[in-house]
Structure 1
């Protein structure tokens, strides 16, 4: 049986992926994470627009 995907509505903006998930309290949360090797940027936000803004303004410095 395949493992269910935790993230839904995943969007890629440059090297950053933005996804929506439920936290432990059942609330919608939004995460932005850079997929570039050695970067390490990731953050959680309460609304989708903040996560997308962080993805659009992120500058990698690996």
Structure 2
């Protein structure tokens, strides 16, 4: 089941990338910008309205 889900996600990403490349070509964009930055020296947490402290115990048990 996991392999099928990963395959579906990969297929979707490939299609999205192909669409983006077509838009780039249509607009004359031949190179994408790159940003060479070092990672932050600190760990940063992610806040989400779908995950709160009250339900943290529930998520840990499932």
TM-score interval for Structure 1 and Structure 2 normalised by the shorter chain: under 0.3
Q: Which has the higher contact order (CA 8 A, sep 6+)?
A: 1
| Structure with larger Rg | 2
Q: Pick the structure with more helix per residue.
A: 2
Q: Pick the structure with more strand per residue.
A: 1
